[in-house]
Amino acid sequence: MKEWRNNMHTNMDGDITVDAVLTKLGREAIINSGASLADIIKYFAVSDIGIDYGLWNNQHPDGSDYYGEKIENMPLPESSVDPAQMRYLLVTLDRNTMFVPTLNSGLSSGWTGFSMNYADYYSTNNSMILAPSTEPATEDTGFIFTITNTNAVSYNVVNSAGDSEVTSDVSNTIVSFKAKSIAIKPKLVSTTQITNIVITSLSFGASNTLTITVNPPTDTELTSRILASSGVNNVSNQ
């Protein structure tokens, strides 16, 4: 199984309700093997996205047992297998940890958005490497990369992070996968395309987003050379 997303709620009687959503790979594993959930589940994530900690009330007239009453009775978000929807992962850190690890993009520009032009990449076949890291603690497991518009950029995994199954939406425009580093390059487009690349640390939950704008070629002669070398008759979102 790739991932397991769950909602868990404890009611006033102490009963725990878990809403679990399995990925396609997870469902196939159960069907094909006949094994139980306990035998199949290898990965899961817990997130507190949607929790409003501003509702914590240490002035509640009924005492400390009721400080979190409003939080505990909040409606829960629907379970999801999309890592991009779980921005605030809950993690376990060493008791003596003084600083929560932060995420570095690995780029000199940090997390500032930038533009890419196909003309700058097609002739040299270069790619931009995204090799994020965390500090002060080092992320050894890898990251979840979510690309929100694959009409804008192509990608390939440079350093894998174990099981790198790709999950996507129905149109295959949004993709998510595990890796330690990836290479991206702009696609040949006829109109400006914008994509976000959401990067999340698997061990620490640290997350941030790069916004990339891909521009079409503007010079007519250059466009003709690009099309000729690419074997494309017309500029399109390929």
Tens digit of pLDDT for each residue in 73-121?
A: 888 777 666 655 666 667 777 788 888 888 999 998 889 989 998 877 7
Peptide bond into 186 cis (omega under 30): no
106/76 same-domain check: no
Based on the fold, state whether residues 65 and 139 are members of the same structural domain. Answer: no
The neighbouring-strand residues paired with 20 are: 6
Q: Which domain holds residue 214?
A: 102-230
Say if residue 151 is in the same domain as residue 43: no
pLDDT of residue 234: 44
Q: Output the average pLDDT for the chain.
A: 77
In a domain, 220, yes or no: yes
Residue 89 lies in a domain: no
Rounded CA separation 24/77 (Å): 20
Which residues pair with residue 143 across a beta bridge? Answer: 179, 201
For residues 154 and 200, state if they share a domain.
yes
Bigger pLDDT: 140 or 210? 210
142: left (phi over 0), alpha (psi -120 to 50) or beta: left
Q: Mapping DSSP to helix (H, G, I), strand (E, B) and coil, where does residue 144 land?
A: strand
Q: Are residues 73 and 111 in the same domain?
A: no
CATH number at residue 139: 2.60.40
Pairing verdict, β 153-159 and 16-22:
unpaired
Q: Find out whether 152 and 191 touch, Cβ atoms under 8 Å.
A: no
8 A C-beta contact, residue 186 and residue 214: yes
Average pLDDT over residues 10-22: 60
pLDDT tier, 64 (very low <50, low <70, confident <90, very high otherwise): very high
Q: What is the pLDDT of residues 145-181, one digit of tens each?
A: 999 999 999 999 999 887 666 666 556 788 888 899 9
**Which percentage of the chain shows pLDDT scores above 90?**
27
At residue 200, the pLDDT reads 87
Residue among 79, 78, 66, 70 at smallest CA distance from 52: 70
Together in a domain, 118 and 27: no
Buried b (16+ CB within 10 A) or exposed e, 74-110: eeebebbbbbbbbbebeeeeeeeeeeebebbbeeeee
* 191 and 122 in a common domain: yes
Count of domains forming the chain: 2
